[in-house]
Amino acid sequence: MNWGIIGAGNIANKFAKTINLMQQGEEDVNLFAVAAREESRAKDFAKEYEIDRAYGSYEELLQDVNVDAVYIATPNNLHVKHCEMALEAGKHVLCEKPFTTNTQDAKKLYALAKEKGLFIMEAFWIYFLPVLQQMKAIIADGEIGEVTYARADYGFIARGKRKDRKFDASLGGGALLDIGIYNLGFLGMVFDAVPQKILSDVHINEYGTDDFSMIQLIYSDTKKATVTTSIGLDIPRNALIVGTKGRIELPDYQKAEEMHIVYNDGTVKDIRVPFVYTGFEYEIREAVRCICNHQSSSDVYTSQQSLLTLQLLDDIRAQWGMKFPYEEK
């Protein structure tokens, strides 16, 4: 299956590296083309990753009949536009998270893909990691009893131009959209439910976007969760799930290769599943599987799960009095 990449930024490098490693491992994937706003940048990217074709416009790549599927790696505010362009050009789509910056646009994209008979999925890679899939199975089997509490935290410090880009509202910036989505998406894996109540505290920076927030999600009288998100503080990506029979500890849930189950009787079970390559291979494999099966969406990470997380983002930002970030049409 021939892949093209729309955008040649940092996240595109990880995708390209992963595809090449998968191909070397004799998996049926090939990185065929890349497009960037500047042709020279696309050519440099293509040279680094031994890609056949480099384009100086996204339209040119999408017109290439040899490209079967595209990975959208452009800024958040451009995802809707580029996904629509790809679907209209007859290409299957894997779009980096956040899929869109509001729920309504996401619904339109899922509907368009179904109408066109094409596949589309948000590249929310943590949903496909083997350790987190095992975590879901352990919860579903009742191994730690009824889950009553969960916590997920994530924070890092951005500086210079990277900081400007992360907080730029016109690009769909802010800590919640950038990394808070991981915290909320993780809770979606744990509870798979809509919270009855959301309580939050947020700090809005000089850019007019959020750089720190603490959020409590109340699912019922007996099920609660908390998340802390920051771009400005270095907060370990730890997660905890507490049940009536034990708890699950994840020392790095966002790049989960291990977890520890601590039962109420004091016994501990350690589970470790190292990535085959970079961790991106699992979402790519799922996209390839679905495309080969002529599916318009994934049944591992469904459009409903994607929309649930996006709706949480909408609700929380509305609570903060924020307008939805600008979408370029």
By annotation, the residues acting in catalysis are 97
Helix (H, G, I), strand (E, B) or coil at 186: helix
> Can you say whether residue 142 is alpha, beta or left, with left for phi > 0 and alpha for psi between -120 and 50 degrees?
left
Q: ω before 98 within 30° of 0 (cis)? A: yes
Phi first, then psi: give them for residue 56, nearest 5 degrees.
-90, 5
Measure the CA–CA gap between 42 and 47, rounded to whole angstroms: 9
Phi first, then psi: give them for residue 295, nearest 5 degrees.
-95, 150
Query: Dihedral sign, CA of 282, 283, 288, 289?
Result: positive
Q: What is the DSSP string of 20-76?
A: HHHHHTT-S-EEEEEE-SSHHHHHHHHHHHT-SEEESSHHHHHT-TT--EEEE-S-G
Closest CA to 253 of 151, 325, 171: 151
Kind of pairing between the strands at 197-204 and 210-220 = antiparallel
